[in-house]
Amino acid sequence: MKFNSILTSVLTLSFIIAFAQETTIPQGHTNQNKFRQLYNELATPNAYRTASGAPGPAYYQQQADYVMELTLNDDTQELFGDQTITYTNNSPETLSYLWLQLDQNVRARDGQSFDRLDNGNDYYGTQRAVGPGFINAYILEEKFDGGFKIDLLQGTDGMDLPYTVHQTMMRIDLPTPLASETSISFRLKWHYNIPNRQFWDARSGYEYFKKDDNYAYFIAQFFPRMAVYNDVEGWQNQQFWGNGEFALPFGDYDVKITVPNDHIVESTGVLENRKAVYSSTMMKRFKEAKKSYDAPVFIVTQEEAEANEKSTPTGTKTWHFTAKNVRDFAFASSRKFIVDMMNVDVNGNDVMAVSVYPKEGNPLWEQWSTKTVASALKSYSRMTFDYPYHKAVSVHADDVGMEYPMICFNFGRPDENGYYSDRTKFGMIGVIIHEVGHNFFPMIVNSDERQWGWMDEGLNSFVQIIAEQDFGKSHPDAIAGMEHYPSDDMDPQNIVPYMSGDQDFIAPIMANPENVYQLGPNAYSKPATALNILRETVMGRELFDHAFKTFSQRWMFKHPTPEDFFRTMEDASAFDLDWFWRGWFFTTGVVDMGVAGVVDIKKFDDDMRYFSRYYTNSLRNLTPDDFNNRKEPKKFYKVTFEKPGGIPMPLIVEYSYADGTKERKTYPAQVWRKSDREVSKYIATDKEIVGVLVDPDNATADINKDNNTWPKILEENDFEKFKKQQD
């Protein structure tokens, strides 16, 4: 007995142990469903920003007004400024210090912006990896002394204010803290050496034209300006390293710019003393331009500009500009400039489209710049809100595309013989549309560019597609020979190489622009393509456009965050989009859907029970008459679709039948909600299915088309297609 019970225990125990080793204890998991809401990823709604994506009842924003007197020295390439800042604290808090941005300090002799670069891996930085130290020591004859020199910082009482500079940020420690709903004014005097734009690859600076020994100045980031203080970041004082752009508060500007008296200036703002700075000829032409809605009118012709290149100034002139409710200020000045203008009717409001360019921009610039500005204004206004400013200026500067309120600097230069390729032409038209578009995002829908590059670049690049298509339709001679304007981000297939590339070098869209690889596709093309797909394929134009306009109008002249955009798009459309934002914006997943198999289950008994069960259940409820008159489908297919890619998308299918007909069906993305990898559809039909094609229009950025057809068609790859063409 004892021996038996021991044996039994031993055997039982070994069995238990063996069994335990073969089975694993379930570990459980949190909700990983791709359709779960973004509660964990998005900031909690609050009184500043509501759950519907709108400014809340406690929403506030600060204001920074500037009165400035500037002097541009054309002999030494220096800019001097004397400015008064009036900062209004609309927050409920008391501020004991203020932060200002000193962007020129990115080129200070002791600047660290180059030290941060990983020369092996940093795409943008490495070409300038040498840095100011290297350039100063080995290339330049004289060391370039960049950065602001602060000559004076005083309160209105004439007392010096204590301040600390940490690279590109300056902290002013207020003797008396700034209470809520109060303002403070203080005065700054400063000067800095204007950098050679191309040499330093800077967004602003001068271009020196050797042939005629003249300078053209493209001045921006030129003054110490307030950083943003808000409910999301506190002070947005993240350093300016170069890739992350700008976060700026709104305010009113009053700026007097003193330049050589033979210079032509264009700037942000209304020109208050046009009669004092324009010749009588220019005034006459300006009045003509205001009456011209179809063709640009020259204010300064190329002939006159070329003659002016040879002039020597006999003194200075002061150009006085004022601007209300802008977030930044920039201007261009040169004796080389040609100027043309045209009036534009934007939904009943007159807006002047202006182009400013040296002769090196011709013949391309006089042909297309102003017309492009006009077209862009109309397209963007249609998608968001009427352009609220009185003018939009496009200035030609080589190798740059950069935006400021009412003025932008754009590339697009023919060669010395005036010849330009299609690539140069479309590059120019595209960049002008893009930079003018930036007036809307972020100049007016004022997002934090330093933290979220995509919020202005991606949204802007998306509307750019629509504006470019409009331009092609209204200016067919510009796209002569093409079906439509060649918009990069319009074809979802163009983003496939980036999205399907090495994951080590892809970052999600929801990442800080300073830290991502391949900034171009990350912040521009991928979000633009995603939004275009959302509009064309997921939501449809009507629902999308209404929601997009709602977002733009809710946040014009305010500071939105990504949450506000994501929430508004859903809130105004009744379209659950969390799965879309999660897949496209928060992950680096890809789209890959296909058809795994097609089975006629009336033939096979395996699934026959499904057929009989559904069928007989429905039959049970029929009246005898209906039962006798019933039709039985000749075929009952089970079509199985697979989704190897991470991002769920609407499943667009084209069924081909034996009689030659085709039928299209779009299953919403929710078809994947319970089964992320594979779903099946039962199709009752009288026609024989001979083909199934997933994503027939290449509308979803599917990275692998090999699994998109049934029966499997081995599609020709790009090499084979090209070779076929050649033979």
User: Would you tell me which residues interact with another protein (CB under 8 A)?
Assistant: 119-124, 126-128, 130, 138-139, 198-199, 201, 203, 245, 399-403, 411, 421, 423, 426-427, 431, 434-435, 438, 457, 486, 488, 497, 500-502, 504-505, 517-521, 524-525, 704, 717-720, 722-723, 726
Task: Please give the Cα distance from 449 to 519 (Å, whole number).
Answer: 13
Sign of CA dihedral 685, 687, 690, 691: negative
Nearest distance, CB of residue 658 and another protein, angstroms: 31
Closer CB to another protein, residue 244 or residue 562?
244
* DSSP H or E run through 356: strand 349-357
Place of tokens 């929801």: 510
Nearest distance, CB of residue 284 and another protein, angstroms: 35
* DSSP H or E run through 367: helix 364-383
DSSP 8-state symbol, 273: T
Closer CB to another protein, residue 99 or residue 441?
441
Nearest distance, CB of residue 400 and another protein, angstroms: 5
In sequence order, what DSSP letters do the residues of 185-227 get, joined into one string?
Answer: EEEEEEEEEPPBHHHHT-SSEEEEETTTTEEEEEE-S-S-EEP
Nearest distance, CB of residue 239 and another protein, angstroms: 18
Tokens of 176: 């008396």
Closest C-alpha among 518, 333, 553 to residue 441? 553
Task: Please give the Cα distance from 158 to 508 (Å, whole number).
Answer: 50
Nearest distance, CB of residue 519 and another protein, angstroms: 7
694 within 8 A of 594, measured Cβ to Cβ:
yes
Tokens of 398: 């080589």
Closer CB to another protein, residue 81 or residue 453?
453
Nearest distance, CB of residue 725 and another protein, angstroms: 9
Closer CB to another protein, residue 82 or residue 491?
491
Nearest distance, CB of residue 626 and another protein, angstroms: 52
Nearest distance, CB of residue 198 and another protein, angstroms: 7
Closest C-alpha among 255, 242, 360, 341 to residue 299? 341
421 within 8 A of 408, measured Cβ to Cβ:
no
Cis preceding-peptide flag for 560 (omega within 30 of 0): no
Nearest distance, CB of residue 431 and another protein, angstroms: 5
Nearest distance, CB of residue 722 and another protein, angstroms: 5
Closer CB to another protein, residue 29 or residue 724?
724
What is the length of the chain? 727
328 within 8 A of 404, measured Cβ to Cβ:
yes
* DSSP H or E run through 609: helix 608-620
Closer CB to another protein, residue 62 or residue 525?
525
Nearest distance, CB of residue 142 and another protein, angstroms: 16
Closer CB to another protein, residue 81 or residue 195?
195
223 within 8 A of 68, measured Cβ to Cβ:
yes
Radius of gyration (Cα) for the chain, nearest Å?
32
Task: Please give the Cα distance from 387 to 373 (Å, whole number).
Answer: 12
Q: For residue 694, what are the contacts with CB-CB under 8 A and spacing of at least 6?
A: 593, 594, 595, 641, 651, 652, 653, 702, 707, 708, 709
DSSP 8-state symbol, 603: T
Write 662-665 long-range contacts (CB < 8 A, 24+): 664/696
Nearest distance, CB of residue 419 and another protein, angstroms: 9
Closer CB to another protein, residue 68 or residue 364?
364
Closer CB to another protein, residue 482 or residue 619?
482
Task: Please give the Cα distance from 166 to 147 (Å, whole number).
Answer: 12
Closer CB to another protein, residue 302 or residue 532?
532
Nearest distance, CB of residue 454 and another protein, angstroms: 12
Angle between helices 422-437 and 364-383 (to 10 degrees): 40
Task: Please give the Cα distance from 117 to 130 (Å, whole number).
Answer: 10
Closer CB to another protein, residue 515 or residue 717?
717
